[in-house]
């Protein structure tokens, strides 16, 4: 797939928080002239303790910290806005070093502490019902900017209690952007997040969602080991063409074939997300077709009653219709759940991330047709 513009890079200083552990070791040895064990110390400071400056790294010599300051920097995020929902959800708006705005959503529950992570500034996929799509795509997030969301929320949640460095338990890549449209940076961020010397998240506790970039699904399955979610939202091409332009490039049959070929670890299933919109995709026939589509695919379905976005023209499905849809799937042998919509009152729910205030001047870097061009 053609490359999207990445985060602007400093012409002098290396963004070391974007480096894999192997690449960081090479940088420390080759550029700084230090022993390789220093890279492990540095990596732990950044990705285990969440350090945002070299001055915090008190077990590194002053000479090494001076060299790091000269040759490197740590890409960080500045908290621009925090909104708290009545259900406990917290939405954070972050400002990147070049002034772009992104959002991530913290969803605590008694069982787990989950963070919804963004991978791009805006999105190029153009889903008609999604608020993020109204922003267009500005640029990719770097691995450091992706991982920095996790580090920043870990700091927010733990406060002054440093006994538990990583209070977050689960990550879902379902925030702003299409993760597989920023695959290389996603892959690097996953390697950091799963590293034993970093946050050390289990692959079972990380889920990446895609609208269906079919060729990238195969690469994702081959090159990562985390869980896959498909944002499906329709059971016919006619309906999906109307609400998700990606379907004009890769039809539902193409997507389902990729899902059938996807390498699943024992006991895992692919999650299919299905946003229920009144009068669009919530009829009995839609449910029956969906059940047929999923034959032969280890799957579970998350039904999401649409979170309304002013001006987009779509409306949520009423409760009894959502329950009827779920029952049809269950009777057909499909595991289906109606997902609780958290953070609606602060525009933090699924499909609502669009920044409270849009930036006044912005030109999208890539139109949708380029984003879905042949790889």
- Binding positions for S-adenosyl-L-methionine: 177-178, 209, 231-233, 307
Residue 36 phi, psi (nearest 5) = -65, -30
Give the contacts of 251 (CB within 8 A, at least 6 positions apart).
237
Within a 10 A sphere around the Cβ of 204, how many other Cβ atoms? 13
Give the contacts of 244 (CB within 8 A, at least 6 positions apart).
125, 127, 128, 211, 212, 231, 233, 234
End-to-end C-alpha distance for the chain, whole angstroms: 4
| Structure-block tokens of residue 305 | 């009653």
- In the set 116, 259, 273, 350, the catalytic residue is 350
- Binding positions for [4Fe-4S] cluster: 123, 127, 130
Residue 279 phi, psi (nearest 5) = 75, 5
Give the contacts of 253 (CB within 8 A, at least 6 positions apart).
none
Within a 10 A sphere around the Cβ of 364, how many other Cβ atoms? 15
Positive or negative, the CA dihedral 137, 142, 145, 151 is positive
Give the contacts of 65 (CB within 8 A, at least 6 positions apart).
54, 55, 57
Strand 299-305 relative to strand 120-122: parallel, antiparallel, unpaired? unpaired
Active site annotation includes 357: no
Give Cα separations from 186 to 1, 105, 132, 216, 228 (angstroms): 14, 18, 19, 12, 13
- Binding positions: 123, 127, 130, 177-178, 209, 231-233, 307
- In the set 103, 145, 273, 308, the catalytic residue is 103
Active site annotation includes 350: yes
* Catalytic center residues: 103, 350
């Amino acid at each position: 797939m053609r490359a999207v513009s990445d985060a602007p890079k400093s012409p002098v200083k290396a963004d070391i928080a974007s480096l894999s552990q192997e690449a960081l070791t090479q940088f420390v040895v080759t550029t700084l002239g230090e022993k390789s064990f220093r890279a492990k110390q540095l990596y732990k400071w950044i990705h285990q303790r969440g350090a945002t400056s070299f001055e915090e790294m008190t077990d590194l010599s002053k000479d090494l910290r001076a060299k790091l300051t000269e040759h490197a920097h740590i890409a960080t995020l500045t908290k621009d806005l925090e909104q708290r929902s009545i259900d406990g959800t917290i939405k954070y708006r972050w400002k990147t070093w070049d002034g772009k705005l992104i959002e991530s959503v913290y969803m605590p529950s008694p069982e787990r502490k989950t963070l919804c992570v963004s991978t791009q500034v805006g999105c190029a996929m153009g889903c008609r019902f999604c608020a993020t799509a109204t922003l267009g795509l500005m640029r990719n997030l770097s691995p450091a900017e992706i991982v920095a969301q996790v580090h920043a929320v870990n700091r927010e949640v733990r406060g002054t209690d440093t006994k538990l460095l990583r209070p977050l338990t689960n990550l879902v890549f379902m925030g702003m952007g299409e993760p597989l449209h920023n695959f290389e940076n996603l892959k690097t961020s996953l390697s950091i997040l799963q590293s034993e010397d970093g946050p050390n998240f289990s692959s079972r506790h990380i889920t990446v969602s895609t609208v269906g970039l079919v060729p990238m699904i195969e690469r994702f399955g081959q090159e990562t080991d985390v869980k896959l979610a498909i944002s499906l939202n329709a059971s016919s091409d006619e309906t999906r063409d109307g609400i998700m332009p990606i379907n004009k490039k890769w039809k539902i049959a193409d997507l389902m074939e990729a899902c059938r070929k996807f390498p699943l670890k024992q006991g895992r299933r692919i999650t299919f997300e299905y946003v229920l919109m009144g009068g669009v995709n919530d009829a009995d026939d839609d449910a029956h077709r969906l059940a047929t589509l999923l034959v032969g695919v280890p799957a579970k379905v998350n039904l999401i009653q649409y979170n309304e976005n002013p001006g987009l023209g779509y409306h949520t499905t009423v409760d009894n219709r959502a329950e009827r849809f779920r029952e049809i799937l269950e009777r057909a042998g499909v595991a289906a759940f109606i997902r609780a919509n958290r953070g609606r009152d602060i525009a933090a729910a699924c499909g609502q991330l669009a920044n409270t205030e849009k930036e006044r001047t912005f030109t999208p870097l890539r139109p949708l047709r380029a984003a879905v061009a042949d790889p």
